[in-house]
């Protein structure tokens, strides 16, 4: 499982760090500052590009290469808000301009320091990710949701004492910024399985594998759903997705075990079912391909 390190320290398992080579300069502001307040109002009410309708202006912004997005986000609040929105990605997709980048966790030759770097399809390096806030961590889960990289849970060691973390951090790939997200309901040492189904993120915690942790980005909330027993108290699952439903494949070979199925669209109380879908051996990982 991945971990991360802040600065140059490392924990006992493979770590990742977020370089502090990119720092955010956020101007201090106050509600009592009339100059700032008037600037914000003007910023929100002003056109995206002077002399152009907003729909045309948005298309113009979408034509800019991806490597320039962070600089564009610093121009004004309207530009930044648009670049962060789903609409921006939609416009770029319709224009055939989406760029696929690869985010790679890499370690130096000495095996002492690690960092995330960003590569394009030609292998060109674009940037290092900014520093992740908080203490040194390891054993967390990573997933991409709505174009954002979420780093969830993990554990940190302070003065020789390890503790589980409930923190969730969000990396915005367009603006190259890291911010705090809604916390997990409970500290999560490690996410053993995760999947994105519809708009929601489903996680299975290492600390409590009899519950699903479900993140809903629309209201930025987490909820815990107990995993029912199906003739076995075994724990440890890998996720699969089929026909809009979440499949839970057991990591233990239990005779008579039927695959658990969670249907998020079922009537309340009927979400959990069983399925005859079962791999011939233990499931290591799975992906769903539509063709």
pLDDT tens for the chain, 291 residues long, are 344 444 334 444 434 433 333 333 333 333 444 443 444 444 567 889 999 999 999 999 999 998 899 999 999 999 999 998 889 989 999 999 888 776 765 666 666 666 677 777 665 777 778 777 777 677 777 777 777 777 777 777 777 777 777 788 888 888 888 887 766 555 554 556 778 888 888 887 666 667 888 888 888 788 888 888 765 555 678 888 888 889 888 877 777 778 888 999 999 989 999 887 877 667 766 666 553
What is the pLDDT at residue 132?
A: 73
Residue 213 falls within a domain, yes or no?
no
Please state, in angstroms and as integers, the Cα–Cα distance from residue 291 to each residue in 50, 243, 288, following that order. Answer: 44, 14, 10
Q: Where are the alpha helices (DSSP H) in the chain?
A: 34-45, 54-62, 69-73, 77-84, 86-94
**42 near 178, Cβ under 8 Å?**
no
Q: Is the dihedral of CA 175, 96, 119, 148 positive or negative?
A: positive
Looking at the fold, whether 161 and 70 belong to one and the same domain comes out as no
Residues 13, 123 within the same domain: yes
pLDDT of residue 233: 58
Residue 54 resides in a domain? yes
- For 234, the domain range is 227-291
Shared domain check, 253 and 285: yes
Best CA proximity match to 251, nearest among 206, 220, 218? 206
Q: What is the domain count for the chain?
A: 3
* Residue 205 domain flag: no
Instruction: Please indicate, yes or no, if residue 15 is contained in any of the structural domains.
Output: yes
Angle, vertex CA 163, rays to CA 159 and CA 167, nearest 5: 120
Q: Residue 235: what pLDDT? A: 62
Residue 188 per-residue DSSP state: B
239 burial type by CB count under 10 A (0-12 exposed, 13-18 middle, 19+ buried): buried
Which residues fall within 8 angstroms of residue 74, CB to CB, at 6 or more apart? 80
Instruction: State the greatest distance between any 2 C-alpha atoms of the chain, in Å, as a whole number.
Output: 71
Residue 139, in any domain of the structure = yes
In this structure, the answer to whether residues 128 and 50 fall within a common structural domain is no
Enumerate the β-bridge partners of residue 104.
117
Boundary (domain end) residue, out of 171, 190, 209: 190
User: What's the pLDDT at 114?
Assistant: 64
Whose tokens are 């009927």? That residue is 270
Which pLDDT value is given to residue 35? 46
The answer to whether 113 and 105 have CB atoms below 8 angstroms apart is no
pLDDT for residue 159 = 75
Give residue 255's pLDDT: 72
Residue 149 sits in the same domain as residue 249? no
Which pLDDT does position 208 carry in this prediction?
Answer: 63
**Per-residue pLDDT, 194:** 77
Q: What pLDDT shows up at residue 8?
A: 37
Closest CA to 139 of 116, 114, 164, 160: 164
């Amino acid at each position: 499982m991945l971990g991360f390190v802040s600065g140059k320290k490392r924990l006992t398992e493979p770590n990742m760090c977020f370089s502090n080579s990119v720092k955010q300069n956020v101007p201090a502001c106050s509600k009592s500052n009339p100059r700032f307040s008037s600037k914000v109002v003007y910023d929100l009410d002003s056109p995206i590009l002077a002399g152009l309708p907003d729909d045309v202006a948005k298309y113009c912004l979408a034509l800019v290469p991806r490597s320039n997005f962070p600089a564009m986000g610093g121009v004004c609040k309207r530009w930044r808000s648009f670049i962060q929105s789903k609409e921006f990605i939609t416009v770029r997709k319709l224009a055939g301009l989406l760029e696929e980048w690869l985010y790679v966790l890499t370690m130096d030759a000495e095996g002492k320091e690690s960092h995330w770097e960003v590569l394009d399809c030609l292998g060109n390096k674009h940037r290092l990710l900014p520093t992740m806030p908080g203490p040194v961590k390891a054993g967390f889960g990573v997933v991409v949701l709505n174009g954002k990289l979420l780093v969830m849970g993990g554990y940190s060691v302070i003065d020789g004492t390890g503790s589980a973390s409930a923190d969730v951090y969000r990396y915005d790939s367009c603006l190259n910024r890291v911010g705090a997200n809604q916390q997990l309901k409970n500290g999560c040492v490690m996410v053993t399985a995760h999947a994105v189904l519809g708009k929601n993120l489903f996680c299975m915690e290492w600390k409590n594998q009899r519950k699903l942790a479900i993140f809903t980005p629309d209201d930025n909330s987490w909820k815990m759903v107990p995993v029912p027993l199906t003739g076995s108290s075994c724990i440890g699952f890998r996720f699969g997705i089929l026909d809009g439903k979440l499949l839970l494949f057991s990591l233990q070979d239990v005779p008579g075990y039927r695959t658990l199925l969670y249907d998020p669209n079922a009537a309340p109380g009927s979400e959990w079912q069983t399925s005859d879908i079962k791999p011939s051996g233990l499931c290591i990982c799975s992906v769903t391909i539509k063709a």
